[in-house]
Amino acid sequence: MRLSLPLLATLLFAAPPVFAQEKTGDPVIAEVNGVAIRESDLDAAYAELPEQYRQLPREALLVPLRERLIDDELLRAEAERRELDRDERVARELARARARVMRAALLEQVIEEASTDERLRAVYEEMKAQPDFAVEEARISHILLESEADARAVIEELNAGADFAALAKERSTGPSGPQGGDLGYLRKEALVPEFAEVAFALEPGTYTKDPVQTRFGWHVIRLEDKRRNVPSFEEVENRIREQVAREAIMAYLDEARSKAEIVIDESFAPAAPAAEPGGN
């Protein structure tokens, strides 16, 4: 039985090695007993850092990373001197690490070969043909006020015939006030939920008869227009590349399996998990 796609993706891409980018000129940043440590090694080490560290300015991490690379080389050299690669356990781990790097390199190549401009554009055209590809957008104006009472007073003025844009310029505490409250065209997911639900439910040319409260304050909302907008290639390029990569990997594995001789031990069953201490 084939693995499900999410599980397959997890197994294939979990903790992939980071390949250093080829550089035009790759300066040596340190030498340890004659072994060069290059800027590309530093780049790869930075890319492997947990996300929370990569939020820090890169320059602040360069010296600590260089020192870590120096320590790594010292440890590697000593392990080589002790011939630890001859240890059976170490040899198995080295084989697994080599296999992991080779798999990642192959998948990188498979994906690169599949991700031609022609293929990416063709997938985009296929997506455009789908009825749900276009995204609903709304042009919205609002007047932001500090209290419900102030918002209701504005609604009373609108009911009496006051101009929405003029009231926004005069009363709104939000940054869109000088533009008559105009927020431009927005997608629903770009707005806080309580604001979006009300705004997108309005008919063009109408405004809310009751104030809408969000964490920003109290809003009087007017829907100016609605439209269906087709996302550009650039807006969905990352999604397309992910789709092409998935399809390329699955196709490659299907072909590889069809050519391989695979024997499965049907009697194999995973061992039952050990009972927790104190359990019944």
The enclosing H or E element of 187 equals strand 182-187
Domains of the chain, residue spans: 1-18+27-82, 92-133+232-259, 135-229
Mean pLDDT by 10 residues, the chain (280 residues): 43 48 76 94 90 87 93 96 95 95 94 96 95 93 96 97 96 95 94 96 96 97 95 94 96 95 86 63
- What is the pLDDT, as a whole number, of residue 117? 96
Tokens linked to 115? 């991700």
Q: How many residues does the chain have?
A: 280
Q: Which amino acid is at 175?
A: P
CATH of domain 135-229: 3.10.50.40
Cβ pair 146, 218 in contact under 8 A: yes
Q: How far apart are CA 154 and CA 261, in angstroms?
A: 76
CA distance 92 to 88: 6
Q: Are 202 and 141 within 8 A, CB to CB?
A: no
What pLDDT is attached to residue 4? Answer: 43
**Residue 279 CA, distance from chain mean position:** 41
**Cα gap 21→26, rounded to integer Å:** 10
Closest by CA position to 216, among listed 240, 236, 197, 191: 191
User: Using an 8 Å Cβ cutoff, are 65 and 74 in contact?
Assistant: no
Q: What is the structure's pLDDT at 217?
A: 96
